[in-house]
Amino acid sequence: MGPVVVLGAAGQLGSDLCRLLLERGVRHFPLARRDLDICRHGDVARVLGELRPSIVVNCASFHHVERCEEEPERAFAVNALAVRHLALICRELEALLVHISTDYVFDGEKGSPYVEADPVSPLNAYGISKVAGELFLRALWPEHIIVRTSGLYGRRGSSVKGGNFVHTMLRLGREQGEVWVVTDQALSPTWTADLASGLWAVVEAGGRGTYHIVNGGWCSWYEFACAIFRFKGMAVEVHPVTSDHFPGKARRPRFSALESSRLGELGLCPLRPWQEALRHYLSGQDVP
């Protein structure tokens, strides 16, 4: 078996996945954007051709939702065209391609957690670009795994967004003593360390196709924020507001929680509840 290549290795999920592979003794090459820009197709073909991986995990994406509205060409280049090129390269190398997608491929109108078989209907440029990436991959290379996930937070934080929601809430809570958080958008908060474990379990079990991998359950962003401060023992006043309080260009799904309905086909259990994962994460020494 050849090595594993992790693209986007400096991000939240990529760094936690590389940490997991290191602990498991899996030979891998972590490639951050500074090492390899996935939009430079010639460079990608050359590097992967030299490394000859048996598995490529694409954690790289352009996921700043508002900026995707302002830069749709960039969103499509990173989240769709680069995935198309990766699929063609992996087909040539006969390598499994694991690609990370999002809950934002859905419009949030279902009113209950989305399963893998539900039809997609994105509301914004980010979601549209991620759907396009999924479609390219399915059409070009059957040896793939698409992992949809939601509400990520991890040790590294999101470089594009200047941290993640947990980091932002903790910072604002310390600085201001109060925060305003929306109650009318629901998600499945997911710790990237748990996601990395779940993703790799699907790989080892021989899974193919699309899987939803999230920590169990769902909540509103307001409930998420309340749990963060409660678990940290911080006396912060959390004000519930609607999405209109934070006007933006991008439409967001009101209910984009995911359900991991296919893991049982592989004999795998869903990830632990989001509250348990969050409590574990916040107890760590590397939380800012």
Q: Over the stretch 179-216, which tens digit does the pLDDT of each residue have?
A: 999 999 999 999 999 999 999 999 999 999 999 999 99
Determine the topology of domain 4-162+190-216+257-271 in CATH. Rossmann fold (3.40.50)
Band (160; pLDDT cuts 50, 70, 90): low
**What's the mean pLDDT when you consider all of the chain?**
94
CB 129 within 8 A of CB 68: yes
More confident residue, 58 or 155: 58
Mean pLDDT across 134-151 = 98
Nearest to 271 by CA among 258, 284, 288, 285: 258
Name the H helices within 118-244. Answer: 125-140, 165-176, 192-204, 221-232
- What pLDDT does residue 286 have? 62
| 104 tagged catalytic | no
Mean pLDDT across 135-150 = 98
- What pLDDT does residue 282 have? 94
- Specify the DSSP class assigned to residue 259: -
- What pLDDT does residue 248 have? 80
Band (58; pLDDT cuts 50, 70, 90): very high
Band (155; pLDDT cuts 50, 70, 90): confident
- What pLDDT does residue 245 have? 82
CB 200 within 8 A of CB 206: no
In order of 56, 97, 188, 197, the CA distances from 271 in angstroms are 23, 22, 11, 9
Band (250; pLDDT cuts 50, 70, 90): confident
pTM of the model: 0.94
Mean pLDDT across 244-260 = 89
Whether the predicted pLDDT of 27 surpasses 90: yes
In order of 92, 126, 229, the CA distances from 179 in angstroms are 50, 26, 11
Whether the predicted pLDDT of 96 surpasses 80: yes
- Domains of the chain: which residue ranges? 4-162+190-216+257-271
Whether the predicted pLDDT of 276 surpasses 90: yes
163 forms beta bridges with none
Band (102; pLDDT cuts 50, 70, 90): very high
Band (247; pLDDT cuts 50, 70, 90): confident
- What pLDDT does residue 238 have? 96
Of 126, 211, 222, 281, which is the active-site residue?
A: 126
Cβ burial of 246 (10 Å; 0-12, 13-18, 19+) is: exposed
